[in-house]
Every structure is written in C-alpha cells, then in structure tokens.
Structure 1
C-alpha cells in the first residue's frame, strides 16, 4: 500500500471497526455530520500515511459499513480494526457560521459548568435524527448525553479547548421541585430546538 507524507493539519473523520462479511468490508464509526458523506472529501489517510479510498458506504444502525478500494478481503480488513482515518483541514469547507463546528473539533474538549467546575470531556457527537447530542465522559468513567443547543451549551471556546454547559438545561441536575420530591416530571430539555452546526463534513446542523 502506498504511503503519503503526513497531513499538515489532520482532522479525524472516522475510525475503522470490525470486519463485516468476508469480502473486505468494515464497520466504521464516523465523525461526520452525515455518515454517508464519508467519501465526499477524497481519500482518507492514516497517521502513518496509508491511503484509503471509499468506494461504497451503506448504513448499519449507529455506524456505516464501508468498502475501501485498497482492502480486498477479510484478512486485510481484520488488520485495520481501531485505525483512525483523517483528511487535511484544507479539504473541508471553511465558510462556517459563528456557532457551527466540526465534530472533530469538539471531541476531547474540556466540559465545565456555569460555576467553572469540571464536568468531564467530550467523547463523541451523535445525531439520532432530532438534533445533535454531545456525549460527555464524566470523571467517574460513566457517560452522559447533553443536547447540543445554545441553551444547554451556551459557550464553545475552541481556542481555550473547552465548552460550558448549563447544568439544568443540560439535564445534569434536577429542577428544585424535582429535587424536593415533587410529582412533576424532572426537566428534560428538548434536543430538537436550535440544533447547531453544518450537517456535512463532520458538522452538526
């Protein structure tokens, strides 16, 4: 397999999972807003310069099944499990709005609450059809989901490497009446309101 020079400004687009079938297809977790758009930005590249060309993509639950032109059989596919795939940032659109972000830029950011206390780190960004959801890994190792809306996430600061959440709107703490045993249902923020970011190329609108 040919190797290219390392990318100057890599943006992770996907990670390869287990093989699917015997013909070389693999399960892939994408970090693109539209998983089916994985092949729209040209060949994907590994950290060590290997090139993978997407020839087909089809949906499969929360992942996609991908065929790469360079992977011919299951044996070759098995050697790729866990491999991260990148494109150079120059391959991605640059005309983002002020509140639009690429998924890859959000992953790994520190999450703090309105008091400045650490909540955790962004582990993933999901879109289950009703707006983007941020998965946060808590210090305990557990994960929690927060709607990626202006109310729940009022601040994103890529330069500082952090996002700020509103604990109540994000569902991280109960409303006062719920905390005191009210029969009212606890607060659930509607993730369909004001979804943020571009839908293609790893965005979140």
Structure 2
C-alpha cells in the first residue's frame, strides 16, 4: 500500500537534487539511501538525503540534472508500506487507517472519513456529512480524538465546521445580541 511521505519543492542545484517537504514522522527511514519511493508515476531510488538550511534535500539515482528534477516540482512522494504496520508515533496515522472511520461530534455520529488531502499547510480530512463533502483541517484543535480500535474520530463542536450555513447563523445571532444592548 502506498502512503504519502513527502511533497517535492524546487530543484536544488544543477545535479538533480530536490527539496522535499517531508509528510512523515520518519523521514530518515523513508528517505534512507537505497530506499524506493514513487513520484510522478515513477519509482525512484534514494541516492542521498541530507538536511540543508532546515530543508530535506534528496538526490535520486534516476534524476541526474536540474532539468529532469524540475519536472517533479509539486509532485507527491509515496512509499510502499505494509498495511498492517503502524507508524512509530502514537499520534500519527496512515491514510488507509483513517478512511472509513465514523465521524462523531457532540456524541452523535455525523458522517464518515472518505479521504485525506495532503496540503502545504496541513493535512485535511475529507468527510461525507449527510451526502455533502466537508473538509476539516486535521489538527488536534479540530480533531481531538482518533480511536482506530473503536473505528471513529471526534470532531470539535465548532459552529460551521461541518455545516457552513450554521456558521452564518451563529455569526448573525451574535451580531443581533450585540446590537440589542
């Protein structure tokens, strides 16, 4: 099973190295020399990986010059992971572990996780809530609990988080209350 482990930034130098934004808590494992990843539909072999100015710079055996490296800009980097293996960190999850979980809010079942987007700022859950697609940033303030064993996660009870129309009503009610003085 493929899991996202990074996103390619700009080319670094003229020898085909790439800046990679890690999307894994195990970059030293996923980008170890000799390991394979999939990027842009191609299998690539890590030749070297090093930190440079706070960034991960990776050289792949199959990419030998800047022109070739530039073709990978913005691509997602994935690694093959056994579906039964869990991340080392208790607060980390693979996409396949989250997809299908029941979404609870205020003790009630409100939907299901249908996907995960790996965006530059943070990962974002894709939820099905009453047939509508809802995006929720996957941060602890908005998703305080993930219980894989019980098959659910909890989404904070924030007005408008799962229903944008409710946010408008909450803002309008607040404005009406403020004006009533």
Q: Per the shorter chain, which TM-score range?
A: 0.5 to 0.7
**TM-score, normalised by the number of residues in structure 2:** 0.55
The residue aligned with 1:46 is 38
**Which protein is bigger by CA-based radius of gyration?**
2
Aligned partners of 1:41 and 1:103: how far apart in 2? 22
Deviations 1:101-137 (A, max 9, x none): 43444676778341333597543499x9xxxx75446
Compare relative contact order (CA 8 Å, sep 6+) and give the higher one, 1 or 2. 1
User: Alpha-carbon deviation of 1:78?
Assistant: 1.4
Q: How much is the aligned-residue C-alpha RMSD, in angstroms?
A: 4.8
Cα offset for 1:34? 4.0
Contact 1:43/1:52 (8 A) holds in 2: yes
Structure with the bigger percentage of helix:
2
Q: How does 1:153-192 map to 2 (within 5 A)?
A: 153-157=144-148, 163-167=153-157
CA distance in 1, matches of 2:12, 2:46: 17
CA deviation digits over 1:25-74, x for unaligned, max 9? 1122322114444323842232755232140221555x522222332210
Q: Is the 8 A contact 2:102 2:109 kept in 1?
A: no
TM-score normalised by structure 1 residue count = 0.51
The gaps in structure 1 that reach 5 residues or longer are: 1-8, 182-205
Asked if structure 2 preserves the Cα contact closer than 8 Å seen for 1:41 and 1:92, the reply is no
For residues 126-171 of structure 1, the C-alpha deviation after alignment (integer angstroms, 9 at most, x for no partner) is 9x9xxxx75446879876452179xx432344896x6332325xxx
Q: Which moved more, 1:103-112 or 1:76-85?
A: 103-112
8 Å CA contact retained: 1:105, 1:158: no
Could you say what secondary structure the match of 2:31 adopts?
A: helix
Write the mapping of 1:1-205 to structure 2, written as runs, cut at 5 A: 9-40=1-32, 42-46=34-38, 48=41, 50-58=43-51, 64-90=56-82, 101-105=92-96, 112-114=103-105, 115-118=108-111, 122-124=116-118, 135-136=124-125, 144=137, 146-147=139-140, 152-157=143-148, 163-167=153-157
CA contact (8 A) 2:33 2:48 kept: no
Deviation for aligned residue 1:75: 0.8
